[in-house]
Structure formats: C-alpha cells, structure tokens
Structure 1
C-alpha cells in the first residue's frame, strides 16, 4: 500500500487537494477531521493507528467511528470501514506527524501563508459558529507544527 500524508494548517486546501488526488489515483482518503475534536486536536492518533493503519498494513479492513461536525460541534458519528487500498491518503492537520513519517511514500505540505485568509476560508467551510474555536485551533496548530517540524519534513509543498 502506498501511504501519502497531506498536512498543513486549517483552511489551506488539504481537503480539496486530497479529493483531486483521490479522483486521479483512485485512492482512498482517511481524514483527521474524522478523529479530531476541538478538545482533542491530535491525541486521538492511537485510534487511527490501531483501527485503520495496522489492519490495512496486514491487508485487512480497518474501522473507526467518525467524528461528525454538525453545526461546528463534534459528536460521534457512523462507523466507517476502510478496505485495503492501493493508495491511502491521510489528509488533515497532523496527518504527516513525525511518528508516521517512516511509513510514508510522500508527505505533502499545503499552506496559505495569510492566517486571516485561512480563517476566512475555514469559517466559510464550517460556518460562522466555528469562528472562535477555529481561531483557537490556529493557535494550537502554530505550536504543533513548530514542535513536529512537519513543513520541513515535507517531500512536496503546495
């Protein structure tokens, strides 16, 4: 299985790029937004690793409970089954984290440098009620990416 991570700050076009790549490559997408919540932006990783990545690496289907973001508030949603693909795209904030990098075929970094533009794009996507938590999320991202050094590790930048 080819494993590609598409990472970068919120509102930078990661989901759009993943959608285009998936259509072109016939790839499967697993999105970090399906795991994260405002209160748990990155510590959910063991659920992804154990429920999806490990089974897929053994040629078995993976499963996880998707986070639903209805009205900007996260809540548990449907159970998703991920059948073993030829190409798996991990898309979202922290998808290219240090712990997964040895298994990646590529790490793509997406970035829109203007923070206000990224916030406006994310609010347009998620709704005005998400503005305050998205602004806090951006501050979290600053610290996360500085410590994880994701951008410097990227093999491709968009």
Structure 2
C-alpha cells in the first residue's frame, strides 16, 4: 500500500473512533473544510492531514465555523455579556446549572447558528438552551 493511502486510512479510522461530543462539533463538514484548506496549503498529504484535523475541530450547521470564530469572539467581547462563574471545567458536553446563566442570541451574520452563547469563566461558549449543554467553545 502507498504511504498516502496508509495516512488516509489512519486518519479516517481515527475520525470514526471519536466520541459523541466531537461529532457534535461537525466531523463531516469539518473534515471537508480541513481537507480543502490543507490541500491548498500542502497538496494531497496536506489535504489528508487537514481533513483529519478539520474533523475534530468541526464546523457544522448550527455552530460557528472555523473562519468566523475570531470575529465572533471579538463581537462577544465588545458586547460585554454577563460572566457566569462556573466551578467545574468548561468543556464541550458539560451541562450548566439551571439558574444564573445569561444566554444571548447569535446574530445572523455569523451563519445559521441554532444555539445561544454565554460567557462562562471568560470563555465564549455555544449552549443548547433546552438542555443547557455546552456544544462548542469558541477559541
């Protein structure tokens, strides 16, 4: 087998082994976006590596895409949202308490985002309001 095929097969096996919270970040659209960016930067091997990385970092309908994250984070900083002080680690999959968290709508200019955002310990997060589960951390 060729080296490219082995690298591609390894990347795909890794993607399939990911847990549910990672899938919530958008494996397939993220893989496509990463593969396109990697291929543009480093050819076919870059496309394979970019696809694997993109599968982990996401970008699916309802979430903030990779290219929009810095601009969205700056928007949130400028809005000065109420900070919720959470004693547990801020992580995808964490469920926020029913009381004390202020949620805000994401403006349409950042795409079709189906979640709301909150500031948790200074971290901008997207949250599913009905379950209060963190679905994305905006880095």
TM-score by length of 1: 0.22
TM-score by length of 2: 0.24
The structure with the greater share of residues assigned to helix is: 2
The answer to which structure, 1 or 2, has the higher relative contact order (CA under 8 A, 6+ apart) is 1
The structure with the greater share of residues assigned to strand is: 1
Higher Rg: 2
